[in-house]
């Protein structure tokens, strides 16, 4: 059985092979629905959902058509870009200028558009069991929010995350910690707090209580530690990740 993240022997799919198999993915509903034609191999390599749908005993496996009526076509396009290039469409890294502008949500200040897209992309990846992408999104959002020029995410995006994920998920924990360490008094204006997710606010209060007791157990030098939002399978893997972070600084 192929793992969540790798094909047999850990090799990438051979997209240059003659006569490849494609799958049609219909995303959204009604007039907003968009049609994507994607190589089947990377879909089944990275996603347990697509592997089951396209290779199992389902109608989709025969027709090679999968419908995702509840999903956003733009988020799916970001997923497809990552699927082929293993990177996000940041400035200078997208083949299409329009996709690059959509990724940063041109016109949004403080990096809010990119933050929102990362949050929605994580939820998509979690929903469809794209484990490697959830980790890459966490890494990207972590370093994105470390930039002092970047504003903390919108309350709507945070509410969306807490509505669609377990509160103990890496993304929800990162959002709680980012606000606990980076949020100022202006984030807690009474009229605006009423719009926040109750689960998110409860998480903030618990985090503040631990900080007040001097508990920085999930931080280094009272800052956030990326490893706490990864699901390392061993201490050796965690230490290797910490070393990689130190080398990045």
Q: Minimal CA–CA distance to 129: which of 43, 214, 206, 210?
A: 43
Residue with tokens 């070393």: 243
Provide mean pLDDT across the span 137-159: 94
Q: With a cut of 50, say whether residue 3 has pLDDT above it.
A: no
Residue 117 confidence (pLDDT): 97
- With beta carbons less than 8 A apart as the criterion, state whether 201 and 193 touch: yes
Strand partners, 39: 22
Residue 4 confidence (pLDDT): 45
For residues 87 and 212, the model is more confident at 87
Please report which confidence band the pLDDT of residue 34 belongs to, taking 50, 70 and 90 as the band edges.
very high
Of 82-86, 151-155, 223-227, the poorest mean pLDDT is in 223-227
Q: With a cut of 50, say whether residue 2 has pLDDT above it.
A: no
Question: pLDDT tens digits, residue range 187-222?
Answer: 888 767 778 889 999 999 999 898 888 765 554 444
Q: With a cut of 70, say whether residue 135 has pLDDT above it.
A: yes
Please report which confidence band the pLDDT of residue 150 belongs to, taking 50, 70 and 90 as the band edges.
very high
Say what percent of the chain tops pLDDT 90: 59
Question: pLDDT tens digits, residue range 45-77?
Answer: 999 999 999 998 989 999 999 999 999 999 999
Q: Minimal CA–CA distance to 84: which of 24, 139, 38?
A: 38
DSSP H stretches of helix in the chain? 40-46, 48-55, 59-63, 73-85, 97-104, 112-127, 131-146, 155-164, 170-182, 190-193, 198-212, 235-248
Q: Minimal CA–CA distance to 81: which of 42, 34, 48?
A: 42
Q: Which residue ranges make up each domain of the chain? A: 71-247
Q: What is the 8-class DSSP label of residue 93?
A: S
Residue 14 confidence (pLDDT): 67
Q: What is the distance of C-alpha 222 from the center of its chain? A: 25
Residues 166, 84: Cα–Cα separation, whole Å? 29
Residue 10 confidence (pLDDT): 55
Provide mean pLDDT across the span 144-153: 92
Provide mean pLDDT across the span 14-27: 85
For residues 12 and 61, the model is more confident at 61
SS3 2: coil
For residues 104 and 25, the model is more confident at 25
The torsion of the CA quartet 89, 13, 65, 98, rounded to 10 degrees, works out to: 20
The pLDDT mean for the chain works out to 87
Please report which confidence band the pLDDT of residue 237 belongs to, taking 50, 70 and 90 as the band edges.
confident
Provide mean pLDDT across the span 148-170: 94
């Amino acid at each position: 059985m192929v793992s969540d993240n790798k094909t047999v022997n850990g090799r990438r799919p051979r997209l240059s092979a003659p006569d490849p198999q494609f799958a049609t993915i219909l995303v959204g509903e009604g007039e907003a629905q968009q049609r994507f034609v994607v190589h089947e191999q990377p879909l089944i390599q990275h996603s347990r959902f697509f592997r089951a749908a396209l290779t199992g005993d389902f109608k989709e496996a025969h027709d090679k058509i999968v419908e995702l009526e509840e999903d956003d076509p733009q988020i799916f396009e970001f997923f497809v870009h990552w699927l082929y290039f293993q990177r996000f469409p940041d400035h200078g890294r997208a083949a299409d200028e329009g996709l690059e502008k959509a990724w940063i949500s041109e016109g949004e200040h403080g990096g809010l558009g990119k933050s929102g897209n990362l949050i929605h992309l994580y939820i998509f990846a979690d929903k469809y069991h794209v484990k490697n992408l959830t980790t890459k999104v966490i890494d990207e959002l972590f370093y994105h929010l470390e930039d002092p020029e970047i504003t903390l995410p919108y309350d709507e995006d945070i509410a969306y995350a807490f509505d669609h994920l377990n509160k103990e998920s890496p993304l929800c924990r990162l959002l709680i910690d980012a606000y606990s360490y980076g949020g100022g008094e202006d984030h807690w204006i009474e009229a605006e707090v009423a719009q926040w997710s109750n689960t998110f606010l409860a998480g903030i209060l618990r985090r503040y209580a631990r900080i007040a007791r001097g508990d920085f157990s999930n931080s280094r030098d009272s800052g956030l530690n990326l490893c706490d939002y990864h699901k390392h399978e061993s201490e050796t893997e965690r230490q290797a990740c910490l070393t990689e972070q130190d080398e990045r600084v």
